[in-house]
Amino acid sequence: MKTLIPILGDQLSPTLSSLRDAARADSVVLMMEVADETTYVRHHRKKLVYILSAMRHHAEALRADGWQVDYVRLDDPDNTGSFTGEVARAVARHDPARIVVTEAGEWRVQAMLEAWETLFGLPVDVRPDTRFLATHADFEQWAEGRADLTMEWFYRDMRRRTGLLMEGGKPAGDRWNFDKENRKPAQADLLMPRPLAFPPDAITAEVIALVAARFPDHPGSLDGFDYAVTAADAERQAAIFFAHALPQFGDYEDAMLTGERFLWHSILSPYLNSGLLDPLDLCRRAEAEYRAGRAPLNSVEGYVRQIIGWREYMRGIYWREGPDYVDRNALDHHRPLPAFYWTGDTDLHCLREALGQTLATAHAHHIQRLMVTGNFALLIGADPAEVHRWYLEIYVDAYEWVELPNTLGMSQWGDGGLIATKPYVSSGAYIDRMSDYCRHCRYDVKQRVGPDACPFNALYWDFLARHRDRLGQNRRLAMPYRTWDKQSPTAQTDTRAQAAAFMAGLDAAGGYGDPPPS
Ligand code: FAD
Ligand code: DLZ
Ligand code: SF4
Tell me the CATH number at 461. 1.10.579.10
**Ligand 1 centroid – CA 398 distance (Å):** 9
Q: Which domain holds residue 177?
A: 136-201+227-321
Rounded to an integer, the average pLDDT of 153-171 is 96
* Least confidently predicted of 12-16, 188-192, 241-245, 440-444: 188-192
| pLDDT tens readout for residues 79-104 | 999 999 999 999 999 999 999 999 99
CATH code of 123's domain: 3.40.50.620
**457 and 505 fall within a common domain:** yes
**Ligand 1 centroid – CA 312 distance (Å):** 11
Task: Using pLDDT thresholds of 50, 70 and 90, give the confidence band for residue 511.
Answer: low
**Ligand 1 centroid – CA 365 distance (Å):** 7
pLDDT of residue 514: 45
Domain boundary among 101, 127, 153: 127
Closest ligand 3 atom, residue 444 Cα: 5
Domain boundary among 321, 351, 366: 321
Residue from 256, 349, 461 whose mutation best tests the ligand 3 pocket (most atoms within 8 A of CB): 349
The CA distance from 306 to 151, in Å, is 11
* Contacts of residue 24, Cβ cutoff 8 Å, sequence gap at least 6: 66, 67, 68
The CA distance from 254 to 85, in Å, is 45
Task: Using pLDDT thresholds of 50, 70 and 90, give the confidence band for residue 190.
Answer: low
| pLDDT tens readout for residues 196-235 | 999 999 999 999 999 999 999 999 999 999 999 999 999 9
Nearest CA to ligand 1 atom 36: 370
Phi, psi values for residue 235, rounded to 5°: -65, -40
Domain boundary among 74, 96, 127: 127
418 Cβ inside 6 Å of ligand 2 = no
**354 and 452 fall within a common domain:** yes
348 Cβ inside 6 Å of ligand 3 = yes
ipTM for this prediction: 0.99
In a domain, 331, yes or no: no
**307 and 187 fall within a common domain:** yes
**408 and 479 fall within a common domain:** yes
Q: Quick one: 44 exposed, middle or buried, by C-beta within 10 A (0-12, 13-18, 19+)?
A: buried
pLDDT of residue 515: 44
**150 and 297 fall within a common domain:** yes
| pLDDT tens readout for residues 436-488 | 999 999 999 999 999 999 999 999 999 999 999 999 999 999 999 999 999 99
**261 and 357 fall within a common domain:** no
Rounded to an integer, the average pLDDT of 237-244 is 96
**503 and 453 fall within a common domain:** yes
- The yes-or-no verdict on residue 49 having pLDDT over 50 is yes
**316 and 358 fall within a common domain:** no
211 Cβ inside 6 Å of ligand 2 = no
pLDDT of residue 512: 54
pLDDT of residue 194: 86
Q: Which of 404, 236, 243 is nearest to 314 (CA)?
A: 404
In a domain, 515, yes or no: no
106 Cβ inside 6 Å of ligand 1 = no
The CA distance from 481 to 476, in Å, is 10
**381 and 267 fall within a common domain:** no
In a domain, 215, yes or no: no
Name the domain count of the chain: 3
pLDDT of residue 517: 37
**349 and 302 fall within a common domain:** no
Closest ligand 3 atom, residue 438 Cα: 3
* Concatenated DSSP letters of 472-493: TT-GGGHHHHHHHHHS-HHHHH
In a domain, 517, yes or no: no
pLDDT of residue 187: 83
331 Cβ inside 6 Å of ligand 3 = no
In a domain, 516, yes or no: no
Task: Using pLDDT thresholds of 50, 70 and 90, give the confidence band for residue 259.
Answer: very high
**Ligand 3 centroid – CA 430 distance (Å):** 10
Per the DSSP assignment, residues forming a β-bridge with 4 are 28, 99
- The yes-or-no verdict on residue 189 having pLDDT over 80 is no
In this prediction the pTM is 0.97
pLDDT of residue 397: 98
Rounded to an integer, the average pLDDT of 35-55 is 98
pLDDT of residue 478: 97
**Ligand 3 centroid – CA 100 distance (Å):** 52
CATH code of 192's domain: 1.25.40.80
In a domain, 112, yes or no: yes
**158 and 100 fall within a common domain:** no
In a domain, 144, yes or no: yes
- The yes-or-no verdict on residue 371 having pLDDT over 60 is yes
**7 and 33 fall within a common domain:** yes
245 Cβ inside 6 Å of ligand 1 = no
Number of other CB atoms surrounding residue 121 within 10 Å: 8
**Ligand 1 centroid – CA 481 distance (Å):** 31
Nearest CA to ligand 3 atom 7: 348
Q: Which of 302, 317, 32, 9 is nearest to 181 (CA)?
A: 302
In a domain, 120, yes or no: yes
* Contacts of residue 505, Cβ cutoff 8 Å, sequence gap at least 6: none
| pLDDT tens readout for residues 326-347 | 999 999 999 999 999 999 999 9
